[in-house]
Amino acid sequence: MDLTDAVDRDRLLRTFLELVAVDSPTGQEREVAELLERRFADLGCTVTRDEIGNLVAVLPGTRDGVVLIATHMDTAGTDRGIVPLVGADGVVRTDGSTILGADDKSGIAGCLELLTLLRQDPGVLHPTLELLVTVGEESGLVGSRALDVTRLTATHGFVLDTAGAMGSITYWSPTSVYLTITFHGRKAHAGVEPEKGVSAVRAAALAVAAMPLGRIDPETVANIGTVHGGEARNVVPDTVVLEGMARSHDQGKLDAQLDAMRHACQEAAETTGATVEVLAEEIYRTYRIEEDARPYREAARAIASVGLPVIPRKSGGGTDGNLLNAKGIACVALPTGMVDEHATTEHIAIDDMVLAARVLVAIVTQDPDPRDAR
């Protein structure tokens, strides 16, 4: 029997609903981490937790090779008390007051289903599995940034943490830079002597109005997401802080976009008499996995084996895969079925979760490619 056909739809759904019911906003992952430690251990894994809270569960293989499977345990935002609703249409959603948390508990549920199947059929050949579940992914890949990859032995892997059509392989992801822009003006009484003040708000507004933002070109985007400043409506504000980001698959285009944003800030400061500081922090760096690379080939073979078309996907977002690739572990990212992640309209079709689990099982249990023989 093909083990991919043994994925149990009802069990997978129960596991997913159990995980979603455990609150785990970024920074509050302890309860779900303890649950996962127990579940992984019960399924035959040796489990360790590093100093920041990342979990690594290792299942010994029955053939040569080591494969990494990465997910994350935190959910975006601050929503707690998530109540998943299973619709008659086979789609899991909430009542619209919270996110669902399919990002990335659908990925974790798939991993637990894989381990369950391998435990039920110990004669199935598979490589050693290193299952990484990170903390803080939603707040800038905090867990994978702190991860000591020397603790891992896998040379390649798969990140179960993307949206997109089932069968897609995210082989290319952008570089992302966070911007913190601080304008300094001069405080004054806005009703009595406004001419003595220099408005940091006006300077910031001029800068934002002059910046190229949104979709810049097919590879590049930029955004100013938050504005903080001022203390009262009758005080000329002396400080305003803008928080934003820029991303691109092309480093040259990203550099040009950052230069344009800095130039807009400097021009606005000079026009108004303010000063400005622009801090740029690279959060993650682009990666591109070629079609003949091992993780892409293994994913493509598995996807085709379950009857899905292989769809190359260039992503506008980042995952732990960006940092794993940067640290020397070649990874592609695969979809779990999640849709509208981070929004209160987030949902997932049970059938798509089953497909994602079947692809994962196929990756792990397929015959090795002779090209990869050591």
Q: Which amino acid appears at position 279 of this protein?
A: L
Angle at 163 between CA 162 and CA 166, to 5 degrees: 105
- Dihedral Cα 279, 249, 164, 304, nearest 10 deg: -140
> Which of 137, 161, 320, 352 is flagged as catalytic?
137
> Which of 74, 130, 298, 320 is flagged as catalytic?
74
Q: Which amino acid appears at position 258 of this protein?
A: L
Helix boundaries (H) for 21-101: 30-42
Sign of the CA dihedral running 187, 188, 190, 196: negative
Integer Cα distance of 327 and 321 in angstroms = 10
The answer on whether 228 is annotated among ligand-binding residues is: no
Integer Cα distance of 360 and 201 in angstroms = 51
121 is catalytic: no
- Cβ-in-10-Å burial (0-12, 13-18, 19+) of 24 comes to buried
Tokens 């798969």 -> residue: 158
Residues in the annotated binding site for Zn(2+): 72
Q: Which residues are catalytic?
A: 74, 137
Residue numbering of the annotated binding site: 72
